[in-house]
Each structure stands twice: as C-alpha cells, then as structure tokens.
Structure 1
Amino acid sequence: MESSEFHNALALLDWQIELGATEAICDAPVDRYALPGTLKPSKSAAAPATATPATMADPVAQARQMAEAAPDLAALQGALAGFEHCDLKRGARNLVFSDGIAGARVMIVGEAPGRDEDREGRPFVGRAGQLLDRMLAAIDMGRTDEAAPVYITNVLPWRPPQNRDPKPEEIAMMRPFLERHITLANPDVLVIMGNISAQALLGKRGITRLRGTWTECLGLPALPMFHPAYLLRQPAAKREAWADLLSLKAWLNDG
C-alpha cells in the first residue's frame, strides 16, 4: 500500500472511532438469539401491549370514587379540577363550580356554563343569570342575601362547545360529582332548572310537563322549573315561572 493510501485509511479509521464505531463487522452474521444465556422473545412479548376494555378506566366509576372521597366543597372542587376523563375540560377556559352561599336552604341546579360563565368561572352570570337574580329578588331571595340566600351550581362544570346540549356520557360522568355536591351543600330544597338538569337528577325530560310539580330527588324535596334562558326565548312562559316561584316561597315559609 502506498504511503498516501495508508494515511488516508488511518485518517478514516480515526474518524470512525471518534463517531463511536469501535466494533468490527465479522465475515459471517451472528445470531445473537442463539448465544448461550440469551432468550428468544416470544410472539406475545414482541407484540406491543394493548389495553383491553376490561382494563380501561371506567370514567363513571372513577368520578364516583373521587367524588365520594371529597370531605368538603373545596376538596370536591379540587377533585373536579383533577378529573381528566371529560373532554369538555380541554376546550373550556374555566371550571364553573358554584356561586351563592353554601349551606343555603335553597340549592339551584342549572344545566351547563355558557360563554359568560366560562369566562368568569361562575354559574348564571349572563343574561339568563341576570333574569334569575330578578326572579329571586321578586321573592326576597338572592345569592348573597344573608336573610334568604341561595346556592347555585350546574350539572356540568365546563362549557360544551358552541353551547350544545351535553351528551349522555358527559352527564353520566358528572352526575357523581353533582350528587356529592348536593350532599355537601346540604340544602333543604332543590330547584331543578331546565331539561338537562331534570334528565341528570330525575331521569326525565319534558320540562314543560315537569315544571311546577313537586317531587323528590336524593331524599330532598325538589321543584322543576323553566330555565331562565328558556324564559328569554319564550316570555309568555314567565307566568308559569312566577307561579313556581310563589310555590317555592310558600314551601319555605311553611318549612
């Protein structure tokens, strides 16, 4: 070999060593699985593990476990914030938990946050919320009224895209949190506002048929009513809503 070729070959070898190529290739291939002490991977080991339906997390069961473990409302709000199975959370700005005074005799359960509620992180703050405040004031009640307060929440804590109706699986996931919320708030009476709330808590839809008729929910007296958003679209229904408010006031006075 000429001197120049030798030095070129040596330079290439040094360059390969710097790159980490420090092992030579044998003349014949080596079956490393056949070497002593080496186990051949089985077909089951080589295939990537996939979750079966039996091993996948049950969102409703996990929601129930997390909700029941919450000793108070603050812990329940934290549990909701940590629940990762509801896709609504990923598209919402804020968790909408509650408003008003916890421990109030009346607990109002609405449907789901809208744009204004999502932005502020409180239920019933848009036009429907303003109407609700006027409705409550008409019977001498209010969110922060120390003499006759109310406590307010929704079936869903996150806003559905484009204010669409919640899906059945979304309601099912949130129901354990809602039930625990009602237990911890410990009201004397529930006001169930709107079809979605009636579906979640009573298992029924058709608020025009259900409204105004006292029923029982989770061991509490419950009064289904029109949602204020419905009253904004159907002002003629305010007559029935006023009758329901008077029925609520009479129940509280008698209780």
Structure 2
Amino acid sequence: MPRSPAWRLGALLSLVLLVRTADAVAGGLVAGQVAASGAGRTCHDAAADAERAWGLPGGLLDAIGHVESGRYDAAAGRVDAWPWAINAAGQGRYAASAAEAIAAVQALRSQGVQSIDVGCFQMNLFYHPDAFASLAQAFDPDANAQAAAAFLSSLYARSGGWDTAVALYHSAVPERGEPYQRMVAADWHGERVAFGWHPAGGVAPRSPPADPFVIMISARAAAVAVYTPSSPPVSRASGPGGAGRLPRVFTPAGPG
C-alpha cells in the first residue's frame, strides 16, 4: 500500500520488527478462517498484536486491513483482511494460499513488474525493500502487520495525528488520502463498507448498514467519491508514535 521511498523503514524494521518466519507455506480456506500459519493466525490476530506492540489505537490497523484487502467471510458474517492479497498496476487478486501468492509475485517480477502490494495490509515491495526478508515473510500476517504498524507509527510521529497518518498511509495527495481516511474511520467506527472486492465462487460483499458511506470505486477512476452527511474523523484514541494509489477492485483473475 504505502509507496513513499522517503519513508522507507530500513534499519528501523531490521532492529525492532517482531516477525514470525513463514518457512513452510500453508494454504487453502478453512471454513472462512485463514490458515496463515500452523497456529491459524489471521490478519485480525496479527493486527491486534501489532497495535499493542507499536502503541497504536486499538482496532485502527485492523480497520486499515479491511480497507486494504477486506474479504467477506460468509461463515463468520464479517469482512476480514486477507493475508494472500496481491495488487499490481491497479489489478488485484486474492490468492488461495501463501504458495500461490508467492508464485504470483514471482511471475510478476519475471515480467518486470516491481511495484507490488502484498499481504493483509498491502505493503509495497518496491518502496519498502527492507521490510521483509523473503516473500514467505511478506505474506505472513504477523510480519506484514508489524511492517504496517511500524510505517503507520512513523507517519504519526511525522504528522502528529492519527487522521493524517492514516491518510498518508494511502497517499500524500489529500484528494486521495482524505477519502481513504474516511473509509478507514467508517470501518473503525463499525460502519462496514461494501467495497465490491469479491471474487467469483460465492463470496459476496456484506450487506451495507442502514446509513452507509456510498463508495464509488472504479479501476480507471481518477478519484474516489465518498458521499456521506458527515465524515467521522479518526480520533477515538491517541498514542505515541506515501504516496499511494486508489483503492482497487479485487477480481478472480490474477494481475495482468
């Protein structure tokens, strides 16, 4: 997701990231639960741990994950971030396993594509080259969450506010970052947004709430239109302490 080389994590991540090495890749869907490691770690679990480790407001990183790679879990009746989500050149997909996700990234790189967003929180491999020791680690929920939390924490330290930090996580351009921040805020405050990110195969977006934000998303759109009577700021909590791209539509087809 984040794309600003000026804010690369570099030595910070190498010293303080708490990561779980994903040497063996597990795959498949298990009754709507993500079998991301032997312990069945999910993006939600990883986000909660990273929020505590980095002093982030509770639930904020989890909400970012929903916006970045959210996928409707019919069994659980909720939207959860997906650990094997990939986006490149505005085209995204949900891989069914870590092995499939790794193979997809390798194929993209063999075609000369370098700017690729990966994992629960869509960290960009090109602009954060030191975030992960391997692709297996990049698709590990804990490693991805720790990298995202470190980046968000650094943005908070620079900006002095969580609203701005969340906007910058997506883009330094206000016209893009601010609508994104409002989408995260809506999720964080419990107003799940039906983003339309659902591959074929029976996975459908959650029914919108009674008074939802109406999000107009297009792969070719130059902006995201957000229509709402009021836009709640990300201000539920505070704590210590990129240019990007528009939210995109995940499809069953792999990135082109």
Could you state the TM-score of these two structures normalised by the residue count of structure 2?
A: 0.27
Larger Rg: 1
Q: Considering Cα pairs closer than 8 Å and 6+ residues apart, tell me whether 1 or 2 has the greater RCO.
A: 2
Higher helix share: 1
Could you state the TM-score of these two structures normalised by the residue count of structure 1?
A: 0.27
